[in-house]
Structure 1
Amino acid sequence: MYDLAVMWEWLEFAVRWTHVITAIAWIGSSFYFIALDLGLHRDRNLATGADGEEWQVHGGGFYHIQKYLVAPANMPDGLVWFKWESYSTWLTGFAMLVLVYYLGGELYLIDANVLDIPVWQGALISMASLAFGWFAYNTLCKVFVDANQTVLMVALFVVLVGMSIFYTQVFSGRAALLHLGAFTATIMSANVFFVIMPNQRIVVADLQAGRKPDAKYGKIAKQRSTHNNYLTLPVIFLMLSNHYPLAFATPYNWAIASLVFLMGVTIRHWFNTQHARKGAPHWTWAATVMLMIVIAWLSSIRHEEPAEQQAGLKGAALVYASAPGFEDVTDIVLGRCSMCHAAEPSWEGMHWPPKGVVLETPEQVAAEARRIYVQSGIAHAMPPANLSYMEPEERLKIVEWYRGAKGAGVEG
């Protein structure tokens, strides 16, 4: 039997895997070249026009690397371009955004208690915000082109704080932090597509035409690459945050996201200073630890829930709730899962529901239908190690209920 839910799960897995692979390639090359540039020796006898050199050993061989500040005298053969790592990371990331947050918007993107809007409106806001991110950042770079770069980074931080507040007022907590990561990653990839690569093409064209390239293009490209270097670690944190409710499911998630950008700066400053052989600013690790402590504290502050929560069902959840066997499945889930998946878990040592999934009411069970089906009906991943002893007959009831609802017209 063709099972759309299982196929969809594998599609998400495949796209996510591809996204991680391309991100590793992009981040790896970015970190390597920043470290290489900062560590170049400029006090040696260099080839004409070379700005610095480095000897490295890896994989049983020695590498002699030279950097030309503007360009070599002649166009070299077999020039390697580094661009597809960035493009493919963004494209696969946007594909994940579509698969999980646009097509699964009722569950992941929109929280009616935050802002009750249709999923299609949320998707449009999402895409518009990503475009705005590049426009705002690029404008700041042009306005502060001759200013101290610290001023530019402070201005960018103000924009990021503003966007973190905006996202938490529009989307669910999970989607808000994920979108702030996508917002930043879009800036980084657009840097490559709209600035770094075009500038490098101008230099190559000048070389091919026998002209001396203008040094400003290389300086601009290096500036944008440096910005990307400092933004990388916060993006990774924000992309991982959707697995940790303490990061996104708190009233201060916007502040947590903002502080993460400061941690990214302190960590990268240590590494970059080390690569440049300017000492080891260990104070950056103390600052990072203090920031993390503040983040952990913010995540633990309790707040009063609204007096009236919107508990009504809508969309596909209505069909799941009315499908044959729903009452039995609800009893199974409440009996086998809700000791952990509760607003206040009763399982010893557990202080919050795993992944932020709460299963204490029929409405919540219906809203999480696909995950219950995949995790407990098909994969048998839940309960973990089957600690609550879910019986094979109970898993079968979950499968029959979900497929019955699917037969009644629910997609996925």
Structure 2
Amino acid sequence: MADFTAMEAWVASAVRWLHVVTGIAWIGSSFYFIALDLGLHRDRNLASGADGEDWQGRGGGVHHIQKYLAAPEQMPEDLGRFEWESYVTWLSTLSLPGENDWEAQAEGPSRHYAEAEGFADVQDIVLGSCSMCHSAEPGWEGLQGAPKGVHLDSAKGIAENAKAIYLQAGLSRAMPPADLSFMERTEREVIRRWFRAAMEG
């Protein structure tokens, strides 16, 4: 289950990036077609029956574009469509539960972590290595508040952020940043054992 938590975090990150990239593509194509419509010449009585046309240059070539208000007599088999960006953006939105939803659906109430074997040791580690920044009144110079509003200066705060602690300080060395508070490798192992015990319990 603990390894599933890491996989879940990777999948969530991939879906977020997919959402961002397809959203940018959707907005970009929308602006392109708006600009295309505004630039069409509609006063040329085109023999093709098109409503308007435009000539554009890009990438060393010249593009001749015509817009039809209704489908022409012969539709090309390879008609390009610009719909996938919007569909994928909306579908990825539906696949993005909030952080609290992940917690509620995959991990259960925070009390489960506080009661898991090894929590007291993890609490000592987090209080010694993380709470100088992640507290109501950070002791680290230059911080006006806890990063991302995450408070790790109490048992409740540690239990509520169990998954983040496991991913950021147990599985990886992302936290503490640049290992400024010198979290030992053995301490990271204690965090991993605690979280896995909670997930298996």
* TM-score after normalising by structure 1: 0.44
Offset at residue 42 of structure 1 (A): 4.0
**What is the CA–CA distance in structure 1 between the aligned matches of 2:42 and 2:137, rounded to whole Å?**
60
Identity of aligned residues (%): 54
**What is the CA–CA distance in structure 2 between the aligned matches of 1:60 and 1:404, rounded to whole Å?**
62
Offset at residue 53 of structure 1 (A): 2.6
Aligned counterpart, 1:20: 20
User: Does the CA-based 8 Å contact 2:46-2:52 persist in structure 1?
Assistant: no
Aligned counterpart, 1:352: 145
Offset at residue 340 of structure 1 (A): 1.6
**What is the CA–CA distance in structure 2 between the aligned matches of 1:103 and 1:26, rounded to whole Å?**
27
Aligned counterpart, 2:188: 395
Aligned counterpart, 1:76: 75
- Partner secondary structure for residue 104 of structure 1: helix
**What is the CA–CA distance in structure 1 between the aligned matches of 2:133 and 2:74, rounded to whole Å?**
63
Partner amino acid for 2:9? E
The structure that is helix-richer by fraction is 1
Is 1:64 matched up with 2:41? no
- Partner secondary structure for residue 66 of structure 1: strand
Offset at residue 403 of structure 1 (A): 1.1
Structure 2 unaligned spans of 5+: none
Aligned counterpart, 2:127: 334
Offset at residue 82 of structure 1 (A): 2.1
Aligned counterpart, 2:46: 47
Cα–Cα, structure 1 residues 387 and 396, in superposed 2: closer, same or farther, change >3 Å? same
Question: Which of 164, 173, 178 is the aligned partner of 1:380?
Answer: 173
- Partner secondary structure for residue 382 of structure 1: coil
User: Does the CA-based 8 Å contact 1:377-1:396 persist in structure 2?
Assistant: yes
User: Does the CA-based 8 Å contact 1:19-1:92 persist in structure 2?
Assistant: yes
RMSD: 2.4
Partner amino acid for 2:146? P
**What is the CA–CA distance in structure 1 between the aligned matches of 2:34 and 2:145, rounded to whole Å?**
40
**What is the CA–CA distance in structure 2 between the aligned matches of 1:399 and 1:104, rounded to whole Å?**
17
Aligned counterpart, 2:3: 3
**What is the CA–CA distance in structure 1 between the aligned matches of 2:116 and 2:2, rounded to whole Å?**
20
- Partner secondary structure for residue 360 of structure 1: coil
In the TM superposition, what are the counterparts of 1:150-299 in structure 2 within 5 Å?
A: none
Cα–Cα, structure 1 residues 349 and 41, in superposed 2: closer, same or farther, change >3 Å? farther
> What whole-Å deviation, never above 9, does each CA across 1:117-144 have from its counterpart, x for those lacking one?
xxxxxxxxxxxxxxxxxxxxxxxxxxxx
User: Does the CA-based 8 Å contact 1:50-1:72 persist in structure 2?
Assistant: no
Aligned counterpart, 2:38: 38
Cα–Cα, structure 1 residues 355 and 2, in superposed 2: closer, same or farther, change >3 Å? closer
- Partner secondary structure for residue 50 of structure 1: coil
Aligned counterpart, 1:89: 89
Offset at residue 101 of structure 1 (A): 5.1
Aligned counterpart, 2:103: 104
**What is the CA–CA distance in structure 1 between the aligned matches of 2:32 and 2:100, rounded to whole Å?**
32
**What is the CA–CA distance in structure 1 between the aligned matches of 2:181 and 2:141, rounded to whole Å?**
13
Partner amino acid for 1:366? A
User: Across the two proteins, how many residue pairs are aligned to each other?
Assistant: 198
Offset at residue 352 of structure 1 (A): 2.5
Question: Which of 345, 360, 363 is the aligned partner of 2:156?
Answer: 363
> What whole-Å deviation, never above 9, does each CA across 1:191-214 have from its counterpart, x for those lacking one?
xxxxxxxxxxxxxxxxxxxxxxxx
**What is the CA–CA distance in structure 2 between the aligned matches of 1:21 and 1:7, rounded to whole Å?**
21
User: Does the CA-based 8 Å contact 2:55-2:64 persist in structure 1?
Assistant: yes
User: Does the CA-based 8 Å contact 1:373-1:398 persist in structure 2?
Assistant: yes
**What is the CA–CA distance in structure 1 between the aligned matches of 2:12 and 2:33, rounded to whole Å?**
31
* TM-score after normalising by structure 2: 0.86
User: Which piece of structure 1 moves more, 73-82 or 396-405?
Assistant: 73-82
Partner amino acid for 2:20? V
Offset at residue 46 of structure 1 (A): 4.9
- Partner secondary structure for residue 363 of structure 1: helix
User: Does the CA-based 8 Å contact 1:344-1:352 persist in structure 2?
Assistant: yes
Offset at residue 407 of structure 1 (A): 1.8
User: Does the CA-based 8 Å contact 2:2-2:195 persist in structure 1?
Assistant: no
Q: Bigger relative contact order, structure 1 or 2, given CA contacts below 8 A and separation 6+?
A: 2
**What is the CA–CA distance in structure 1 between the aligned matches of 2:156 and 2:105, rounded to whole Å?**
14
Cα–Cα, structure 1 residues 101 and 341, in superposed 2: closer, same or farther, change >3 Å? closer
> What whole-Å deviation, never above 9, does each CA across 1:37-90 have from its counterpart, x for those lacking one?
2233445x351443433222222222111223x225424313222222211211
Cα–Cα, structure 1 residues 47 and 363, in superposed 2: closer, same or farther, change >3 Å? same
